[in-house]
Structure 1
């Protein structure tokens, strides 16, 4: 006999759905928290290096409810401890912000023209992951909050059942 976990009305499909939603919510919150810590560490440990801008631009992404989101992009080359790298992160961390308008995304990379020598930032513990703006974004916090809201909604559903 295997143990059963009942969440919700007792309907097996409903219970599985709630459990899947809970697991996804916890994963989203955890990933947001993890990326926030990664950003903090990268900014805290960053050293400046000279970089040459290769290209900048704006990527478009299909957002929620048919909306379009815009993500600033940049490619740059830099050296650290005698090794040459190519970077493509405007901000530290893996969760980068998107913008509602193309012009807002372009403003983020407006100071970076191809061929320009600019300052990039490198965490010596991860020299292949440089970034151009030595500042944290609020995107990981928003992601963690979305995940926590999912956990809260699951808890409310469970308590009401």
Structure 2
């Protein structure tokens, strides 16, 4: 007897599991697409202000996955302060997207933060429609599109499994 949460080659064992997979995939796709549009809007509405770098580093994140023993990812971290229309803010986004890029090699993440030094004055890009959202690089990141693509693949798999389970009773 197999557990209904197990996945086999044909997908989830139940119609309910297939539908959950479909909804999960659609949610991930929607979030990725939303974040991509949001970052494009932030760039379009960006105004330049002066700011100061307060912290620079690389965060290490690891997860246990299957037989490989784990996957280590590195995320560049830059914290900065800036003032916009008389209010002081703190920001942490290198790119305008909320989904931050992660790298499989520490050196790649370090190269992103290499140009920033604690205490240095820098140009900060502030979304004029949301001054609490600021970023250092006035260019889009492909990370939201990658997340949306993964969600789309999961959605297609979930839709096919849902249809198959629905037809088979």
Q: Equivalent residue for 1:154?
A: 158
Distance 1:43 1:64 in 2: 36
What is the Cα deviation at residue 81 of structure 1? 0.8
Contact 2:29 2:151 survives alignment (8 Å) = yes
Q: Equivalent residue for 1:21?
A: 21
Contact 2:19 2:162 survives alignment (8 Å) = no
Q: How many residues align?
A: 149
Q: Equivalent residue for 2:114?
A: 110
What is the Cα deviation at residue 157 of structure 1? 2.6
Q: Equivalent residue for 1:62?
A: 62
Aligned pairs for 1:38-117 within 5 A: 38-63=38-63, 65=65, 66-117=70-121
Long gaps (5+) in structure 1 = 1-12
Contact 2:52 2:80 survives alignment (8 Å) = yes
What is the Cα deviation at residue 154 of structure 1? 2.1
> RMSD value over aligned CA atoms?
1.4
Distance 1:77 1:89 in 2: 11
Aligned pairs for 1:24-39 within 5 A: 24-39=24-39
1:123 aligns with 2:123: no
Partner of residue 144 from structure 1, selected from 148, 151, 154: 148
Distance 1:155 1:75 in 2: 41
